[in-house]
Homo-oligomer: A and B are copies of this chain.
């Protein structure tokens, strides 16, 4: 009597994973350096030296029980304080440690955020194109993820559709800016309008609608682009952060929930996260990793390669006649495919050893994602394949 809902999920294969497996297999045939693998959003830039140095320093000098001991259930106090101070300095909101809950990556942070504000049957809205894991992340809690169709002009928000879907059943709206897969950064205007709408509907329905802001790409914003602080626009914001991309340490599972200090019950919400943990086996991110990130909060890996790659790809895609919104951040770009069915388009691209992901996976059919967190040298080498693919297939 194994639980059927999990057993049934085993037959549903992830498209991204399948493509990545194809890339690996093809790499065994022709050398992985010759496969232009744009499938996976796996950070490629080295971890900052300071992070590694801090880890070694602690391991060499600190008492092992102190270093590897239990973390309090909300996170190590000094770490929460350091995170709050860093957020206050950066965003000008009065964050204190009472607003911070240390979590095992953005996935851990979101698992707590969803459970804070939704009961089974409640709805959470998000916006296409969106990170496909949001589906199981939300739906396995018993809440229901509903997806607002994409604004394909600019990948901001389709407010007409949002208003239609923002019924009384909606307890939270989930955004991701800078966005995976589009690379779009929500503008101040978009966030202002979204906040006004949520305030109005909260008043109308007599219950708060929370804004859950998934911000793993916050530090990857390109020159000339302004990335407004989401929490500054809306009091009932639950920020979910991960250090996976900023420090290039996705395997170490470290991030946090930061409840907006202006949120009415912010401290209670953080304490509730400690209770939610008990039900989902979370029990804090690893102690040594908490301590290490606290030492390098204001540093990032050298993320400039992502912008370099974006500029090269964007220029080429424009020249080849693609319809494409220029990314403001992340390491993704999301052009329109050259034929209606992006799955067919991506399948044809494989003949040129170009591994692209169809937008269907992200709730935006007809588009495709390229994850350019790869070496610039490889991006440059891929341009020839891209040109041949387009000219031989679509001219």
Using a CB–CB distance below 8 Å, which chain A residues touch chain B? 1-3, 6-7, 9-10, 42-47, 52, 55-56, 59-60, 63-65, 67-71, 103-105, 107-112, 115-119, 133, 136-137, 139-141, 171, 207-208, 248-254, 265, 268-269, 271-272, 275-276, 278-289
Knowing A46-B64, A112-B281, A282-B280 are in contact, say whether A136-B275 is a contact too (CB < 8 A): yes
CB-based contact B69/A110 at 8 Å: no
CB-based contact B56/A68 at 8 Å: no
Closest B residue by C-beta to A202: B1
CB-based contact A1/B208 at 8 Å: yes
CB-based contact B68/A2 at 8 Å: no
Number of identical protomers: 2
Closest B residue by C-beta to A69: B251
In the complex, A273 Cα to B280 Cα: how many Å? Answer: 13
Closest B residue by C-beta to A62: B52
CB-based contact B117/A3 at 8 Å: yes
Residues of chain B within 8 A (CB-CB) of A252 are 68, 286-288
In the complex, A288 Cα to B51 Cα: how many Å? Answer: 13
Shortest A229–chain B CB gap in Å is 23
Residues of chain B within 8 A (CB-CB) of A279 are 111, 136-137, 139-141
CB-based contact A269/B2 at 8 Å: yes
Shortest A132–chain B CB gap in Å is 11
Shortest A214–chain B CB gap in Å is 12
Knowing A250-B68, A285-B253, A289-B286 are in contact, say whether A3-B272 is a contact too (CB < 8 A): yes
Knowing A105-B283, A133-B278 are in contact, say whether A117-B1 is a contact too (CB < 8 A): yes
Closest B residue by C-beta to A272: B6
Residues of chain B within 8 A (CB-CB) of A171 are 1
Shortest A270–chain B CB gap in Å is 11
Shortest A121–chain B CB gap in Å is 12
With beta carbons under 8 angstroms apart, the residue of B2, B55, B56, B271 that contacts A265 is B2
Shortest A311–chain B CB gap in Å is 23
Residues of chain B within 8 A (CB-CB) of A281 are 103-105, 107-112, 137, 280, 282
Closest B residue by C-beta to A119: B3
Knowing A140-B279, A280-B280 are in contact, say whether A64-B47 is a contact too (CB < 8 A): yes
CB-based contact A46/B59 at 8 Å: no
Closest B residue by C-beta to A53: B59
In the complex, A118 Cα to B253 Cα: how many Å? Answer: 27
Knowing A7-B272, A70-B251 are in contact, say whether A280-B111 is a contact too (CB < 8 A): yes
Residues of chain B within 8 A (CB-CB) of A46 are 63-65
CB-based contact A2/B117 at 8 Å: yes
In the complex, A288 Cα to B141 Cα: how many Å? Answer: 29
CB-based contact B65/A248 at 8 Å: yes
Shortest A343–chain B CB gap in Å is 23
Shortest A244–chain B CB gap in Å is 8
CB-based contact A1/B207 at 8 Å: yes
Shortest A248–chain B CB gap in Å is 7
Closest B residue by C-beta to A281: B111
In the complex, A103 Cα to B253 Cα: how many Å? Answer: 12
Extra A-B contacts (7), CB below 8 Å, given A7-B268, A46-B64, A136-B279: A1-B171, A2-B268, A6-B116, A69-B250, A70-B251, A251-B286, A251-B287
26 contacts between A and B (CB under 8 A): A2-B269, A3-B118, A6-B276, A10-B268, A47-B64, A56-B60, A68-B248, A70-B250, A103-B281, A104-B253, A105-B283, A107-B281, A107-B283, A111-B281, A136-B279, A139-B279, A140-B278, A141-B279, A251-B284, A251-B286, A254-B286, A280-B282, A282-B282, A285-B286, A286-B286, A286-B289
Shortest A198–chain B CB gap in Å is 13
Knowing A59-B56, A282-B280, A285-B253 are in contact, say whether A2-B64 is a contact too (CB < 8 A): no
